[in-house]
Amino acid sequence: MPGQRERVLLVGPLRGATGGVAMFTETLLASRLGGRFEFVHLDTTRTAAGSGRAATLAPINFLYFVRQWLELARLLARHRPRILHQPVTSGISFWKEAAFMACGRLAGARVVAHLHGARFQDFHGGGGSVRRWLVRRALRCARVVIVLSDGWRRYLLERVDGRLRAEIVANPVARDFVAWASGVERDPGRAPATVLFVGRLARIKGLVTALQAVPLVQRRAPGTRFVFAGGPASAAENAEVERARASLPADGTVLFPGLIGGPDKRSWFQGADVLILPSTHENLPIVILEGLAAGLPLVVTPVGALPEFLVEGEHALFVPPGDAGALAGRVADLIADPSLRRRMGEANRALFRERFDPDRILERIEQIYREALS
Q: What is the pLDDT of residues 63-104, one digit of tens each?
A: 889 999 999 999 999 999 999 999 999 999 999 999 999 999
- Are 94 and 123 contacting, i.e. CB atoms less than 8 angstroms apart? yes
Neighbours of 68 (CB within 10 A): 17
pLDDT(54) > 90: no
3-state secondary structure 41-99: EEECCCCHHHCCCCCCCCHHHHHHHHHHHHHHHHHHHHHCCCEEEEEECCCHHHHHHHH
Residues of CATH 3.40.50.2000 domain(s) within the chain?
6-173+357-373, 176-355
How confident is the model at residue 95, as a pLDDT? 95
Weakest mean pLDDT among 21-30, 42-51, 180-189: 42-51
How confident is the model at residue 151, as a pLDDT? 94
- With the CA atoms of 374, 152, 149 and 298 taken in that order, what torsion angle do they form, in degrees rounded to the nearest 10? 150
Exposure of 83 in the CB half-sphere (CA atoms within 13 A): 27
Short-list 304, 297, 235, CA closest to 272:
297
How confident is the model at residue 283, as a pLDDT? 92
d(CA 126, CA 131): 9
Summarize pLDDT for 204-257 with one digit per residue, the tens: 999 999 999 999 999 999 999 999 999 877 777 778 888 888 888 888 899 999
Within 8 A by CB and 6+ apart from 170, the residues are 148, 149, 284, 289, 355, 356, 361
The answer, yes or no, to whether the previous bond of 87 is cis (omega within 30 of 0) is no
Strand residues in the chain grouped as ranges (E): 6-12, 37-43, 83-88, 110-115, 142-147, 166-168, 194-198, 225-229, 254-255, 274-277, 298-300, 316-318
How confident is the model at residue 115, as a pLDDT? 97
pLDDT(194) > 60: yes
Kindly indicate the confidence band of residue 264, based on its pLDDT and cuts at 50, 70 and 90.
Answer: very high
How confident is the model at residue 246, as a pLDDT? 84
- Are 183 and 173 contacting, i.e. CB atoms less than 8 angstroms apart? no
What is the gyration radius of the CA atoms in the chain, in angstroms?
A: 21
Phi/psi of residue 255, each to 5°? -120, 145
How confident is the model at residue 62, as a pLDDT? 85
How confident is the model at residue 52, as a pLDDT? 55
Within 8 A by CB and 6+ apart from 289, the residues are 170, 171, 173, 352, 356
Average pLDDT value for residue range 96-114: 98
pLDDT(51) > 80: no
- Are 83 and 7 contacting, i.e. CB atoms less than 8 angstroms apart? yes
Q: Which residue has the higher pLDDT, 243 or 57?
A: 243
Specify the CATH architecture of the domain 176-355: 3-Layer(aba) Sandwich (3.40)
Short-list 97, 25, 22, CA closest to 61:
97
Q: Tell me which amino acid residue 56 is.
A: T
Kindly indicate the confidence band of residue 33, based on its pLDDT and cuts at 50, 70 and 90.
Answer: very high
Q: Helix 324-335 vs helix 338-355: angle between axes, to the nearest 10 degrees?
A: 100
- Are 8 and 40 contacting, i.e. CB atoms less than 8 angstroms apart? yes
Indicate the average pLDDT of the chain: 92
Parallel, antiparallel, or unpaired: how do β-strands 166-168 and 142-147 relate? Answer: parallel
pLDDT(300) > 60: yes
How confident is the model at residue 128, as a pLDDT? 92
Average pLDDT value for residue range 186-195: 90
Percent of the chain with pLDDT over 70: 95
Within 8 A by CB and 6+ apart from 240, the residues are 203, 208
* Helical segments of 184-234, H only: 207-220
Within 8 A by CB and 6+ apart from 57, the residues are 92
Sign of the dihedral through C-alpha 44, 48, 51, 57: negative
Average pLDDT value for residue range 323-345: 97
Weakest mean pLDDT among 239-248, 259-268, 269-278, 310-319: 239-248
- Are 61 and 46 contacting, i.e. CB atoms less than 8 angstroms apart? no
Short-list 343, 47, 38, 348, CA closest to 173:
348
Annotation: CATH topology of 6-173+357-373? Rossmann fold (3.40.50)
Model pTM score: 0.91
How confident is the model at residue 3, as a pLDDT? 63
Summarize pLDDT for 144-170 with one digit per residue, the tens: 999 999 999 999 999 999 999 999 999
pLDDT(55) > 70: no
Short-list 83, 23, 95, CA closest to 57:
95
